[in-house]
Structure 1
């Protein structure tokens, strides 16, 4: 009855005695940016953006955009592009492009030498690998979308990943552009003039 309950990083410290994969979706996700790894076990924390552009702020009443990206990335892509309907053939084409994006993001992630060992351990699990790749799709989409400007509008993770490098990757930008073209939303994305 009117009480506001929050989970703080300190509440979770005991659980870090074992490998832990966290997804933090909150307006207060920044509280987890410096989450310490007290016991040296693999620890990954995916955090939602702290802000959303004004035209997406009302969407929070219907659910979180971050959670939508992790659960149904193509639906989330359509949400940030204001696409409310799509014909089945376009949806199927878009799903194929999204699958290629996730595959390419996984390949590129495997090439980075400075990836924290925690990601390598969790990457072996099919479900957590899918969450991680969808997180990268979310990060890349929001970094390239013209309405999302600045770090507070992007998701974050601990340990850090090379998200900016992935967003600047020509193959990933090309796939994102192909996806935007399916829904005629190319103008919403700034791809740095690389394509």
Structure 2
């Protein structure tokens, strides 16, 4: 029996943080040690507002949404789910230009059978999750985990993503290192 699976893109399937940090280090011509586990990049790397915007401008100019490295275990998990006949949806809070680049990245990884859904920058995933009714959802942000719970998703996990999740923990939502780990595999057998 196949199930419907939904996951986030950044820090769940793709190493957005690594790509953004590398871009920022090139732009600023210095190493950026991680100062804390804050979700917000400016605080995490101790950047001024001007530096932060300069780094984002270069990230977009270099079309880095297409070039974020994939997390190998996550890619293996998604391919495994697809090979078992499951439906996989990648729900990402990106705008249209980033969505096109992210689709190209997924296509290059052989993920044409996975459906990419963009909800807009800072967008809610609630309506997409309510409509899809997945059996499993994974995201690195607490707010999206809460939206999944509110939408009735029975199995929700927060992927640690190397940060604090940007909010308060959601009761009943486990934190895992990635979607290829045992708690996720157990739910999706």
Same fold, TM-score > 0.5, yes or no: no
Higher strand fraction (1 or 2): 2
Which has the greater radius of gyration?
Answer: 1
Higher helix fraction (1 or 2): 1
TM-score (norm 1): 0.26
TM-score (norm 2): 0.26
